[in-house]
Homo-oligomer: A and B are copies of this chain.
Amino acid sequence: MERHNLLIMSDLVGSSEVRRLRKFANVYRSSELDEKTLADRLRQTDALLISLWPEFLTDEMLRSMKRLRFIQGILVGVDHIPFQTLGRKVVVCSNAGAYSLEVGEHAFGLLLSAAKRVVDTHNSVARGKTDFKEFRGTADDILVLRGKTLGVIGYGGIGAVVAGLGRSFGMKVIALSRSRRSASGSGRGVKIVRGRGALTSLLAGSDAVVLALPLTNLTEGMIGAKELSVAKGGAVLVNISRGDIVNQAALYEHLRRNPSFRYATDVWWYKEGRETLVTDYPFTSLPNFVGTPHISGPTAVASGRPVRMAVENTLRYLRGLRPKNVVKRSEYYRSIVL
């Protein structure tokens, strides 16, 4: 068997990881190659290890990579990869599970921040509202989690962490899943729902909802005006997956009209193929919007786990074993403009 050519296009992979990979492949780093050498290497590359899809790797360059067969992502989501330009034989692997702990905790941080109205009351005090009497109505909009219902949309690694924390807070947990495997959740007090109508009934019955599913052609814009209209008036919606799961215009209108409904997010909408903190509507002027600048993922990266797991999976491919977390390419049609 010919030796693999692996190109690493991420600064996150350290030298000890590179040494492990060198046992099974010729390893190159794009950051160490000049433009001409890179163009040559790309044509020889059969495996890619990436973080966010690099801006310099244009569709034209990608089309020149005739030998490419495998892409391993270090991020959990793969929606940034230009699937429509990839050769049919390329297998794409996500890094599912690598971020579950940190992102799940962050989801609960956002959920409690919004449920307990931490951000908006803090800012009111900071802006000089210093009479306790002015906060008298606040308690009505504070969500006590115990005994309430948590809806988890997407029951993968992150969804399972979120569901477990919800149970710890004494919540009833309903999880929307399309996988048969996740039926195991029931054993831990999580009710798994599936199929048509499940989304609507989950939204209608939940006091807090966490979006924990990948952005694909099946999930883009999944939460629109209709879905928001069935949600409880005082519910908290948390997004730690991708901004574009939620329709931006519909959400803004819903938040403006329903001051007791809250949206707390770590992820933002795409513009020209890139996530941006610049929104089409003035969300941060609304007291019922909480947004952190996509900081849950980097926290996980700092643990070293995502790189370690991505390298392990790449090693599986290089050694001729079946890699984990192969994504269904047909679900990722998104055209990313670089």
Contacts and interface: CB of A to CB of B under 8 A. Distances in A.
A193 interface: no
A123 B289 CA distance: 11
Contact of A122 (B102, B125, B292): B292
A122 to B, nearest CB: 6
Contact of A144 (B105, B125, B144, B276): B105
B124 A113 contact: no
7 contacts: A102-B144, A110-B116, A121-B292, A122-B290, A122-B292, A130-B278, A135-B295
B125 A298 contact: no
Contacts of A299: 139, 142, 144
A169 interface: yes
A119 interface: yes
A93 interface: no
A58 B195 CA distance: 66
Contact of A109 (B112, B129, B146): B112
A101 interface: yes
Given A118-B119, A132-B293, A142-B298, 12 more contacts: A105-B169, A109-B115, A113-B116, A116-B295, A118-B290, A119-B119, A122-B292, A124-B293, A132-B294, A139-B298, A142-B299, A164-B168
Nearest to A298: B139
Summarize A's interface: helix, strand, loop or mixed.
helix
A275 interface: yes
A302 interface: yes
Given A132-B277, A139-B301, A295-B142, A119 B122 contact: yes
A117 interface: yes
A286 B106 CA distance: 22
A47 interface: no
- Say how many copies of this protein the assembly contains: 2
Given A135-B295, A144-B303, A284-B126, A113 B109 contact: yes
A67 B315 CA distance: 83
Interface of A: 101-102, 105-106, 108-110, 112-113, 115-119, 121-126, 129-132, 135-136, 138-140, 142, 144-146, 164-165, 168-169, 275-278, 284-285, 290-296, 298-299, 301-303
Contacts of A115: 109
B122 A116 contact: no
Nearest to A101: B146
A277 B119 contact: no
A275 B135 CA distance: 14
A130 B295 contact: no
A293 B125 contact: yes
Contacts of A121: 292-293, 295
